[in-house]
Structure 1
């Protein structure tokens, strides 16, 4: 029985005969379509070009692999949320000023700001708003500072860079201090 590596090599060798194009031509075609997700690429190849599922799956995987490592922050602030990126950048820049031990940890849908533990969470919540979660357990909510969830006890909703004021920076500094 063939190993998975041998099966892959066989599929790649058979790709031009079975689909009518070598892999590099399929990759150019997929890139020209601007499709971002595996399922979208498979659907396109099967629907528009009659490629069988197995080969469409292979081409999609190779197309995404060739783009290099994913950048979760770029993904979070793409499309309709692109205008929110300056808010994210300003929050991260300020967090870095809090101390050399600040860790910026991008996740799929948010960016965690950590020290020994998480003290803040930046999430592009809607097309017009970034939510800044803060670990300020025990503090009373008030004004812009709202009760949030278990990971971050409080949140501030931000729609512009101008809302990153002294009050917000004080809350971030306090959350940072408590995470040490």
Structure 2
């Protein structure tokens, strides 16, 4: 799935003409005419010269650069790149994906450059290979106090309220799966 296929991005694109005064194609033409390639240059043009808000400017810039580079990177390529230098963590990733897939057919995996987002009606977690020997399982469990393996994650990631550090396939214990299931249930 490409960036433009994300439901939140689709909503932004639907609102783009009303919020910025131009369609995505018109913004692409303007950026192309200025021969801008770097993200920062595009952001400066959109925000500084045209008063586009940061969120819309960032979305336009990302989509323009994605299109200029030949389209979005395939999901499997993003995952492959995440584990290229951390192959010992790939079996753990595969186990997590299988476990979360067993929760229900409504689970969506959305690979990004550095992690894989886990979604249902909304995001309930992320899988991130943080070091060569540690994977972080970020979970959205708002209001849940830290407990045992469950670490409050505010300082780690603004995307998740908690995280669990995993070191190898043997780390996928019933307790970890229980926390993952709770996050999944809360996102429904």
- Would you say 1:74 and 2:80 are equivalent positions? yes
Per-residue CA deviation, residues 51-73 of structure 1 (Å, 9 max, x unaligned), is xxxxxxxxxxxxx97xx847100
Structure 2 unaligned blocks of 5 or more: 1-68
| Greater Rg over alpha carbons, structure | 1
C-alpha distance in 2 between matches for 1:138 and 1:163 = 25
Aligned match of 1:83: 88
The within-5 A match list for 1:22-101 is: 69=74, 71-79=77-85, 81-101=86-106
The within-5 A match list for 1:1-180 is: 69=74, 71-79=77-85, 81-149=86-154, 150-180=158-188
Give yes or no for contact 2:138–2:162 (8 Å, CA) kept in 1.
yes
C-alpha distance in 2 between matches for 1:126 and 1:69 = 23
SS in 2 for 1:98: coil
Compute the TM-score of the two structures, normalised by the length of structure 2. Answer: 0.58
- Equivalenced residues, count: 114
Q: CA RMSD in A?
A: 1.6
